[in-house]
Amino acid sequence: MSFCLTGVGLTHANGFRALCDISLRAAPGERIALIGPSGAGKTSLLSVLGTALAPTDGQLEILGFGQNIGPTVALRSRIGSIHQAPPIPGRQRVVTAVLAGKLGQWPAWKSLASLLYPLDLAGARAALERVDLADKLFARCDQLSGGQLQRVGIARVLYQQPDLILADEPVSALDPALALATVRLLIADAEARGATLVASLHAVDLAIGNFTRIVGVKAGRIAFDLPAGEVTVPLLHELYAGEGGELPVQAHEPHFLTQAAANGAATRSACC
């Protein structure tokens, strides 16, 4: 089991209930997309899975670590987090930002030495090549665009090779074609290593067109947890009700709504 959450809730210090009664599990190698309206709790859920936030109730197990999970180095080194706005110091060089992916796996002397002089230039360059940024190896991070900085964060996780990848809107600053290519890169990397990938995505078409399992999140609860082929247009409209009536798409998979409608028709036919 990659992770198992049972009845997990999260209440912030100000009393806001971000998550309520979340039960979710994933086997190693699963690819899960989280979708839902803004403020639904997707980022909070990823933060709990990444041990950045401790749940206020419920039980969880992550990568074999059970209840009372703390932010231990042993666990954190096996989790790779990709942020919408990567927390990378602007003065840091790209090569150092990428190599930071291994800091939890290296001994202390190697981690300190690498901060002074990058110890694996070839490894950092190879990871950056996968996101088309090899030419930025020695650039300062504050010289990059938002989309380039997102890809540096992705390169860091590719270099880290974690067992669990948690991606929070990882391609929000990329154009549709590059976003599609980058999501497929993450999926291919996870598949090749048998890692679990959980990604929160704004674009519904990008999620349904590429992930095998779709989890809809709304008001801090799981609205549905289905194979991508069973997600229908009515389900999506119900999930995003109150969001202006339009589903968030970026035309990555132009026929996904037609397919979702067909899935709904087939389900109704089977039931009737």
pLDDT digits (tens, 9 = 90+) for 26-45: 999 999 999 999 999 999 99
Q: How many Å apart are CA 112 and CA 117, to the nearest integer?
A: 9
Closest listed residue to residue 174, CA positions, set 188, 158, 165, 185: 185
What is the Rg, in whole angstroms, of the alpha carbon atoms belonging to the chain? 19
3 within 8 A of 26, measured Cβ to Cβ:
yes
Going from N- to C-terminal start, the domains of the chain cover 1-78+196-272
The single residue listed with the structure tokens 């709304």 is 218
In terms of residues, how long is the chain? 272
pLDDT digits (tens, 9 = 90+) for 109-152: 676 666 667 788 999 999 999 999 999 999 999 999 999 999 99
Amino acid at 174: L
- Token pair belonging to 235: 């389900």
pLDDT score at 268: 35
Q: Give the full edge-to-edge strand order of the sheet including 57-62.
A: 17-26, 3-11, 57-62
First to last CA, the chain: 36
- The CATH number for 1-78+196-272, chosen from 3.20.20.210, 3.40.50.300, 1.10.3720.10, 3.40.50.2300, is 3.40.50.300
Burial of 172 (0-12, 13-18, 19+ CB in 10 A): middle
**Secondary structure (3-state) at 55:** coil
pLDDT score at 258: 56
pLDDT score at 267: 37
| 269 has pLDDT over 50 | no
pLDDT digits (tens, 9 = 90+) for 41-51: 999 999 999 99
Q: How many Å apart are CA 48 and CA 221, to the nearest integer?
A: 14
**Secondary structure (3-state) at 208:** helix
| 272 has pLDDT over 50 | no
The single residue listed with the structure tokens 């954190």 is 76
| 266 has pLDDT over 90 | no
- Predicted TM-score (pTM) of the model is 0.89
CA angle 72, 83, 236 (to 5 degrees): 115
Closest listed residue to residue 185, CA positions, set 128, 145, 134: 128
pLDDT digits (tens, 9 = 90+) for 57-114: 999 999 999 766 666 778 989 999 999 999 899 999 999 999 999 987 766 667 666 6
pLDDT score at 8: 97
pLDDT digits (tens, 9 = 90+) for 156-211: 999 999 999 999 999 999 999 999 999 999 999 999 999 999 999 999 999 999 99
Average pLDDT, stretch 243-253? 66
Q: How many Å apart are CA 190 and CA 165, to the nearest integer?
A: 8
Q: Sorting pLDDT into bands at 50, 70 and 90, what band is 270?
A: very low
